[in-house]
């Protein structure tokens, strides 16, 4: 139906002049469409308002994404993926996700349990017999939950091929399962153990069994040696402005912090993992059930402002990240940064508050902060 100066023309060519009541009804339909469009635009403007102080203060460069029930309601990139070439960040920019890697390692181990390849209650020494006697009572589950008692210098990972793990006979900080203490080494051991069990590289197993089934084609193992299209360069704030971050060998982070991904791929991960597409119900329950404190298997699980939140952050030289999922409302918030700072978790909380219809806290971003290089370690 086409309209021409108050006359409505039907597709068969006939004309009619609508009554006043019908004209009012048609006008209401049009206005309703405008209102729906404005309503759809309003959230994006509100999310952008949350981000702007961090952008103005130059404390954040990266990409963010907010989704509700699998539908993206806000997605944007800020600053530069490469400052030298003035290449902007976007939703398809690939970032090192640092310790957010741990949830992928945990899922891979639990997937092996689903397939009958191991039990999380198994002693680590069942698969790594060269481990010292002090490891006799450490189980795979202790490594998953950071309750093993080992220190980060209890073994040294040497990237291959072949990958090697050289043990140091160090006393435990506490008896396995007694307390919680975050350690990257525990997750490096898990990756190495996975390779010994499946006879395949950690990278290959994760790509084939986690990324590929979920269509995560923009995710993989981060390396400065490998050419990775659309990879963000890492930066940190220096006294004279933003500087290039140091270039360590990221393979040393291995299964504890060496994966890269995009905001869109990580949404696929959240939807796939919590949608039951990867793990059995029992394994997913184990993965998100805290053991000591609020830590489960590669994930923190706690209530924040009355909302159940499943989350992990990541910090590496040149990169920061935070990803939170709110299962009761099916809200996902993903923040990936290639400029070191301390605002990624704050941004994630503010975006989540807005997605919940709440008022975000006033941003702390007012000026650039110079961080010591000693603070910029993977965790």
Q: Residue 315 is inside which H or E element, if any?
A: strand 307-316
> Helix, strand or coil for residue 371?
coil
pLDDT digits (tens), the chain, 379 positions = 434 444 444 444 444 444 444 444 434 433 333 333 333 345 899 999 999 999 999 999 999 999 999 999 999 999 999 999 999 999 999 999 999 999 999 999 999 999 999 999 999 999 999 999 999 999 999 999 999 999 999 999 998 888 899 999 999 999 999 999 999 999 999 999 999 999 999 999 999 999 999 999 999 998 877 889 999 999 989 888 899 986 665 555 899 999 999 999 999 999 999 999 999 999 999 999 999 999 999 999 999 999 999 999 999 999 999 999 999 999 999 999 999 999 999 999 999 999 999 999 888 765 444 444 444 444 5
Q: Which long-range contacts (CB under 8 A, 24 or more apart) does 340-343 make?
A: 340/234, 340/235, 340/236, 340/237, 340/245, 340/315, 340/371, 340/376, 341/59, 341/60, 341/237, 341/369, 341/371, 342/369, 342/371, 343/54, 343/59, 343/60
Tokens of 336: 């990936």
Instruction: In whole angstroms, give the CA distance from residue 310 to residue 256.
Output: 18
Instruction: In whole angstroms, give the CA distance from residue 164 to residue 184.
Output: 16
Task: Using the structure block, give the residue that is written with the tokens 């790594």.
Answer: 128
Please state the pTM of the whole predicted model: 0.85
């Amino acid at each position: 139906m086409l309209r021409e100066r108050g006359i409505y023309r039907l597709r068969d060519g006939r004309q009619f002049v609508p009554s006043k009541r019908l004209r009012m009804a048609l006008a209401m339909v049009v206005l309703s469409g405008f209102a729906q469009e404005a309503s759809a635009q309003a959230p994006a403007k509100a999310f952008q308002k949350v981000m702007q102080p961090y952008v103005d203060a130059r404390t954040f460069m990266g990409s963010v994404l907010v989704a509700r029930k699998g539908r993206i309601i806000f997605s944007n990139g800020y600053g530069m993926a490469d400052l030298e070439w003035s290449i902007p960040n976007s939703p398809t920019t690939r970032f090192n996700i640092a310790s957010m890697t741990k949830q992928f390692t945990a899922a891979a181990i639990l997937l092996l349990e689903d397939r009958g390849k191991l039990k999380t209650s198994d002693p680590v020494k069942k698969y790594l017999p060269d481990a010292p006697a002090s490891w006799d009572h450490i189980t795979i589950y202790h490594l998953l939950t950071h309750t093993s008692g080992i220190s980060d210098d209890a073994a040294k990972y040497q990237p291959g091929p072949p990958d090697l793990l050289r043990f140091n006979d160090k006393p435990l900080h506490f008896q396995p399962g007694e307390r919680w203490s975050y350690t990257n080494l525990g997750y490096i051991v898990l990756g190495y153990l996975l390779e010994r069990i499946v006879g395949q590289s950690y990278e290959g197993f994760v790509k084939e069994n986690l990324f590929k089934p979920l269509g995560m084609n923009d995710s993989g193992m981060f390396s400065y040696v490998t050419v990775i299209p659309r990879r963000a360069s890492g930066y940190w704030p220096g006294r004279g402005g933003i500087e290039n971050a140091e270039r360590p060998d990221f393979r040393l982070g291995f299964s504890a912090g060496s994966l890269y991904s995009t905001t869109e791929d990580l949404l696929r991960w959240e939807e796939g993992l919590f949608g039951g597409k990867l793990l059995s119900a029992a394994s997913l329950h184990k993965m998100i059930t805290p053991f000591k404190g609020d830590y489960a298997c590669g994930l923190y699980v706690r209530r924040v402002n009355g909302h159940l939140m499943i989350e992990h952050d990541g910090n590496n030289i040149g990169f920061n990240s935070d990803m939170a999922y709110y299962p009761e409302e099916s809200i996902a918030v993903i923040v990936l940064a290639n400029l070191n700072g301390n605002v990624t978790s704050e941004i994630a909380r503010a975006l989540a508050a807005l997605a919940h219809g709440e008022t975000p806290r006033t941003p702390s971003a007012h000026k650039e902060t110079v961080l010591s290089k000693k603070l910029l370690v993977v965790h």
